């Protein structure tokens, strides 16, 4: 990957050194010492088979801390091949190039990566930058290592030109779909390059930092590798926002920041005492915030004090103990209920599990508290790195007294552990990237997809589920479920109610997509305003480009109402029971058009006539509030009647003709019809119809509902 090195005392590296010391309590490795050890190993001849070369001993030590029974011989062979193939190559700072794969491997070893990942990380630049071939790696180390090395190897710039970087990321993401360890190596590789970026020109530093911010950091977040994500955030912060970084650094180094150590330690001791008294075995640790976290807290809260510079971390053995700790803290301290979050019952989509709360001590100090098990903590820090190989039912090797980090995740029927990241965001990404026609579309869509930092789950009408980014709409759900068939989507029902395609979805919603029978129909250009997922946007754009005549049609162009009318005088007979006086003409009210056998109520109107309303018509209540006296009315013997129906439908060619044909087939005659202009692809038809027999009304309404595109038919309900 042609990683560049810098002066070890660059501002960026100094920044992350500070956070590294505060977070892990250890100093930065001396790369020059590693380089000398590598050179001495090369000149002094190969190390004896019973021990590792000195240059890799620190990797072996970190690896054995997580995997005490690991076979280190394969690491020795990988180091020997990497050192010999990179011999004579130097980084820009002067260190031997072998220091880069060694540093990348150490990062992964400290996170608990298994032996296969470490082997591949030692070799990750050999195929790209040396004479070593992929076939040679496969012969000496097996298919898994070869796959990982190939996954992180860049595509040739001579073949792709300016598209080389996007296509390299596309290749890595596709490889990550089969084995997430590919992206783990890439993240560790980028972290070491970012640590040693100061020798580059400022403009190149900024370019690399922006790609890290827009692509690598969101990927680290989604893979749950918080240890890498936070360090990358601080490095990017130092390069892209140097003034804010210096302000934050001064704040941490100032009296408020240094005083936070005592405040957090005191809060930790109070919490530990409460848990000891409750006989709950727990480790209570202080977790200082990293630079970006302090910066965000300052923007949110203004002046920071004491416990604002860190959090308390409570580690317990079992899930039930987490809730026991929560109960004790909320009983013995004053909880801030608005700060409580349960990510154990509802884990984040990146595997993260923990209880979050905040408590106020008697002196008024407020401390944020994270409560999790040791297994949760390992996964929270290392994410997918802690899961080992996705192709094995058990990790490479584990400490006998350590909990299996894969515990609680599903295992496929053939013994392979299901990669918990694949069903969600990664599966969607792998689907839409296949449809991206060029590198620019892929790159822009990838940035947009990774910008969504939360995921929701919606339920399909058939019982399945869809994973979508927060803010997704019915348009996104249509393309996620139906692919290109969603071009003919007419609308949706959300939680049983009709909703426009622009409707945003929430976690837990039930969505039923309504598709047109006409396969030639396509999306409206307005859909692009509602699409949030790259899959939907790419599919819509491709269809509009293939059908330019549709893309240039004005959306929802106003059209005059279409009205037809006929002179019909026949109606169902109505009679009014008047106390004395001459008989009055009775007619059905136009607002609700009652038909036999509806219950009806009459009211006198101007001219002495009586209008008959359905009993439930809102006009009845209005008349009574105005003091109008109701007149008893009843139906006569004639069965023919006039009724007004409203049909709600999705717009499509030939819909009006199909509806009028259905009405005629049912034996009704159209007295008048009005078709309103389309609104969000929905059309409202109002028909006044003459029926020979009022008993045929239900059959007529069913026939109209059966017309493709019509989703509801009802009678008018009032004024």
CA-to-CA dists, residue 296 to 304, 343, 416, 713, angstroms = 11, 21, 41, 54
128 labelled catalytic: yes
> Quick one: residue 279, left, alpha or beta (phi over 0 = left, psi -120 to 50 = alpha)?
left
> Quick one: residue 112, left, alpha or beta (phi over 0 = left, psi -120 to 50 = alpha)?
left
Among 85, 125, 131, 86, smallest CA distance to 105 is for 125
| Cα end-to-end span (Å), the chain | 73
Residue ranges of the alpha helices (H) in 503-603? Answer: 527-530, 534-546, 548-551
| 3-state DSSP assignment of residue 612 | strand
Residue 435: count of CB within 10 angstroms of its CB: 18
Cα 204 to Cα 240: distance, rounded to the nearest angstrom: 11
Enumerate residues 6+ apart whose C-beta is below 8 A from 445: 432, 433, 436, 534, 537, 538
Q: Which residue has the tokens 């990293």?
A: 290
**What are φ and ψ of residue 650, in 5° steps?**
-95, 140
Instruction: Name the DSSP class of 310.
Output: E
Crossing angle (nearest 10°) for helices 31-43 and 99-111: 120
Cα 375 to Cα 355: distance, rounded to the nearest angstrom: 14
661 labelled catalytic: no
701 touches 713 (CB < 8 A): yes
Kindly give the pairing relationship between strand 610-614 and strand 586-588. parallel
Residue 710: count of CB within 10 angstroms of its CB: 20
Of 4, 95, 129, 509, the active-site residue reads 129
Residues carrying an active site annotation: 128-129
């Amino acid at each position: 990957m042609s990683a560049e090195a810098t002066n070890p005392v660059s501002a960026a590296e100094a920044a992350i050194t500070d956070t590294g010391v505060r977070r892990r309590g250890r100093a930065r490795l001396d790369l020059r010492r590693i380089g000398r050890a590598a050179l001495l190993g090369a000149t002094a001849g190969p190390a004896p088979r019973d021990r590792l070369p000195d240059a890799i001993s620190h990797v072996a030590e970190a690896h054995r801390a997580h995997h005490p029974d690991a076979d280190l011989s394969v690491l020795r062979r990988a180091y020997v091949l990497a050192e010999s193939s990179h011999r004579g190559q130097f980084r820009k700072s002067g260190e031997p190039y072998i220091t880069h794969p060694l540093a990348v491997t150490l990062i992964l070893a400290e996170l608990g990566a298994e032996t296969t990942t470490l082997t591949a990380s030692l070799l990750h630049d050999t195929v790209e930058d040396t004479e070593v071939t992929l076939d040679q790696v496969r012969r000496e180390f097996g298919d898994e290592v070869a796959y990982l090395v190939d996954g992180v190897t860049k595509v040739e710039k001579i073949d792709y030109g300016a598209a080389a970087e996007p296509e390299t990321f596309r290749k890595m993401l596709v490889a990550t779909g089969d084995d997430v360890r590919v992206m783990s190596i890439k993240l560790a590789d980028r972290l070491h390059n970012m640590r040693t970026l100061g020798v580059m020109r400022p403009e190149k530093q900024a370019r690399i930092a922006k790609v890290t911010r827009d692509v690598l950091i969101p990927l680290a977040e989604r893979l749950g590798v918080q240890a890498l994500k936070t360090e990358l955030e601080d490095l990017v912060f130092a390069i892209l926002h140097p003034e804010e970084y210096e302000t934050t650094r001064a704040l941490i180094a100032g009296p408020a920041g240094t005083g936070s150590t005592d405040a957090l330690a005191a809060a930790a001791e109070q919490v530990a005492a409460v848990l000891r008294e409750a006989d709950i075995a727990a480790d209570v640790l202080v977790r200082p915030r990293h630079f970006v976290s302090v910066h965000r807290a300052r923007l949110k809260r203004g002046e920071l004090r004491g416990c604002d510079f860190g959090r308390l971390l409570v580690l317990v053995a079992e899930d039930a103990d987490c809730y026991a700790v929560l109960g004790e803290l909320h009983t013995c301290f004053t909880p801030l209920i608005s700060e409580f979050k349960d990510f154990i019952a509802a884990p984040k989509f990146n595997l993260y599990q923990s209880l979050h709360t905040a408590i106020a001590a008697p002196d008024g100090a407020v401390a944020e508290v994270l409560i999790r098990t040791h297994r949760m903590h390992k996964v929270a820090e290392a994410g997918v790195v802690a899961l080992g190989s996705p192709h094995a039912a058990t990790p490479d090797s584990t400490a006998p007294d350590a909990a299996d980090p894969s515990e609680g995740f599903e295992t496929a029927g053939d013994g392979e552990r299901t990669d918990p990241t694949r069903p969600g965001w990664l599966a969607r990404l792998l689907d839409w990237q296949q449809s991206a026609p060029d590198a620019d579309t892929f790159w822009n869509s990838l940035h947009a997809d990774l910008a969504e930092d939360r995921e929701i789950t919606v339920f399909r009408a058939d019982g399945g589920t869809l994973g979508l980014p927060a803010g997704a709409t019915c348009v996104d759900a249509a393309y996620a479920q139906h692919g290109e068939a969603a071009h003919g989507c007419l609308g949706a029902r959300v939680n049983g109610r009709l909703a426009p395609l622009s409707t945003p979805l929430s976690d837990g919603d039930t969505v039923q997509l309504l598709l047109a029978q006409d396969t030639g129909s396509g999306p409206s250009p307005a859909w692009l305003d509602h699409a949030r997922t790259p899959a939907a946007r790419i599919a819509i754009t491709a269809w509009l480009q293939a059908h330019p005549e549709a893309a240039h049609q004005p959306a929802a162009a106003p059209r005059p109402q279409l009205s037809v009318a006929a002179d019909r005088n026949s109606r169902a007979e109505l009679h009014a029971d008047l106390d004395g006086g001459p008989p009055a003409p009775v007619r059905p009210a136009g607002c609700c058009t009652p038909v036999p056998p509806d219950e009806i109520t009459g009211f006198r109107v101007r001219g002495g006539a009586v209008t008959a309303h359905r009993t439930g018509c809102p006009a009845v209540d209005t008349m009574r509030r105005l003091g109008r006296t109701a007149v008893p009315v009843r139906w006569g013997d004639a069965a023919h009647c006039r009724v007004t129906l409203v049909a709600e439908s999705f717009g499509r060619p030939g819909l009006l003709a199909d509806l009028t044909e259905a009405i005629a087939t049912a034996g009704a005659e159209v007295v008048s019809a009005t078709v309103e202009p389309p609104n969000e692809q929905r059309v409202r038809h109002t028909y006044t119809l003459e029926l020979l027999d009022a008993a045929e009304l239900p059959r007529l309404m069913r026939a109209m509902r059966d017309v493709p595109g019509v989703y509801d038919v009802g009678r008018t309900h009032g004024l």
